[in-house]
A and B are shown apart, each in its own frame.
Chain A
Amino acid sequence: MQRALLVGLAIGFLCATIGVYVTLRSMAFFSDAIAHAALAGIALGVIFGIAPVPAAVLFTLVIAVGITYLTFHTELSSDTVIGVFFSGSLALGVLLIGMQEGYQTDLLSYLFGDILAVTRLDVLLALGLAALVMTVLFMRSGVLVKIAFNRDLAAVEGVRVVTWDYIFMTLLALTVAVSLKTVGIILVSALIIVPAAAARNVAPNFRVLMLLSILVGVVSALSGLIVSYYLNTPSGPTIVLVSIGLFILSFAGRRR
C-alpha cells in the first residue's frame, strides 16, 4: 500500500504538471491517443520480450511522431490523424494481447490500472521518470509557456519551436508510460487533463494555476488510491472520479 501511495503521489504531481501545458497547447485528444497507443506498445513488448514501460514509451513516441508528421505534411486535419492512430493502435493492442495466452486478465489491469500490481521496481521507475520529467518541465517552463502562448513570438526570440515540440512529446510519452500501471491506459489522459481544467476554473494567474493543478492531481491520486483499496475497485476510475468531483466543485466556484 505504501508503495502504491508513493507512486500515486509521483504520478498525481507529474500528470497535473504536464497537464497544464497539455491543456494550454490544446493537446487533450493527442494525449489520449498516445495513451491508447501504449497498449499496442505493451502488446508488442510482450511479443518481442521487451519490458512493458520501455516498450510503451518507444511505441507512443513512434505514434506521436507519426501523428505530428502526417498533420504537418498532408492536408488531413490533426483531429482526423489523431482519431485514426488512436483507434488503430488501440485495436491492434487489444487484438495482440488477446492472442497471448494468459494475458487476458492483464488486459483489464493495463486498461484500468491495478495498484496491487505495483512492484518495487515500478516505484523506482515511477519516481525516477517523474523526477526527470519534472526537472525539465520546471527548468524550462519559460520556453514551454512562451511556445504555447504564441509560436511566432517564441520563434522570433530564437526558440527552436520544432525541437521543443518533440521534447514535449517525449515528456508526455514518458508521463503516460509511468502512469500506466496505476491509472490504466483508458483514463491516464483524464488524470492529465482534469486537474489542470479544475485549476483553470479558479486560478487568477499562471503560478496559481500550476499550484492548484498539482494540488488537485495529488489529492485525487492519493484519496482515489485509498478509496479503491478499501472498496476493492480499480484504481484508475476511482482516482479519476475524485478528480471529476473536484472539477465540479471548482466549476461551481469559478471566476467569471
Chain B
Amino acid sequence: MRINEKTGEVTHRPTLKKNKITRRHRVVHERIERTKKVDSRFDARRSPIKWKTFHPRNIGVVYLYGLIWVVFLLWVPDTWLTWLTHRSVLNQNAILVVVAIGLLVPLSAGVFDLSIAGTISASAVMAAWGMVEQGWSIPVAILAALAVGVVVGNLNGFLVVKIRIDSFIATLATSSILTAFAVWRSNNRSILGFPDAFKSLTTQFGLGLNRTVLYALVLGFVLWFVFEHTALGRYLFATGGAREAARLAGVQTNRYIWGSLVTSAVFASIAGVLLASQFGSTQAQSGAPYLLPSFAAAFLGATQFKDRFNVWGTVLAVFVLQSGVKGLQLAGVGTTWIESLFFGIALLVAVGFSSFRKRVYGGQRRWWRREESGPEFFLGKLLGWGRVKGDQSKQNAQEWWFDPEDTEGHHIKPS
C-alpha cells in the first residue's frame, strides 16, 4: 500500500496479477486514482516472457534430448526412428523412476537414504520366497514385501531421529543388513517360477508400453501433488532447507524426517515387487544397480525447472539419459559400460553448471557472468524492453551513498 504523505490518502493498492504467458502471479501496485503523473522514464518495464525459463541452465536436459535426437538421427537413423527403441527406454526405466522419485522425499527433507538398493532386493526376495517356497497367495506376498519396506523405513527413522546417527551411516548399515537378509532368504540363488498372475502385474497395456510406466506416472503424479500443492510439501522442503529454522517455525522436523524415510523405503519395496514381476525371477543382488542411477537422477533433476528436488525434473532426467545410453548402445558403442559413463558425465556437467552460476562471490565480475549478458538483455535492447537509460545519475542522486562533491567518480554503489 502506498500512502500519499501529504494528504494521507491511499494512492496505490497491492494486488496480484497473473501474467498470461508465464502464468505467474506478481505483486502490482494498482493505482487507485491518478493523483500524480508518473515519469515514464522511471517505468521499469519487464519483458513479457521470462527468458530464464528457456535458459539451458533451467531446462538443459530438454536441449540435451534435442541434441541426442539430432546425433542419433544422423548416426543410426534406421533403428532410432522406430517406436520400439523409445518404448523400450520407457519400459526398462520405469522401475528406476519409481525408486528415484521415492528417494526425492528424504533428500528434500535433508537426509540420505542409501538403503533403497537393499530394500529393493529384500522386498523382491520376500515376495518371491513367499510365493514360491511358502505358497502364499499373491496379495499376501505383495503385502509382505511392502511390510519389509515399512519395517526398514521405521528402522531408519528410529536410527536417524531417535538415536541420532547420521542418515548416511545409518542407512548404509541397514542396507548391509538387508543384503544379508536377502541372501539368507534366497540361499544366494535365483528364485524362479512365479505364478502367471503375478507376472501379469507388469504386462503391456497398449502401444507396447509396460504397466510399470503407468505405475511410475501415477506415483509421480501423487508425489508431485504432495510436493507442490500441500502444506506437507512445504514442511518437507523447510526441514531440508534449514532444519533448526523449520523447527523454530513450529514444523515437527523429526516427524517429517522419519516419515520421509518410511516413504522412500515403501517406494523401494514397490519397485522390488515390480522388479520381481517384470523379470520373472529374483536374486539377492537385484536392487544394487539402482542405487547410483537413482541418486544421479535425483540430483540432476534438482537442477531442472526449479532450484530444488522435483519430480518431473527427475523423471525427465532418467528418460533423457537413458535415451542417450540407448542410442549409443544401438550404435554399438560400449554396450556394457556406457550407461555408467553417461550418467556420471551428465551429472557432473549439470550440477557443475548450476553451482557455477551460484558462485556470486570470489573472482571478478567478468562480462559473461553479468546478468546483463544474458539473452534477455540483448533481445530486450533489440525490442526496446527494460529501463530507459540515461537517467541513472539522477536516480543515484537520491541514494544515501551518493556524494555530490565527489568529482573523481567514487560515488559508485557499494557492492
Are A and B part of the same complex?
Answer: no
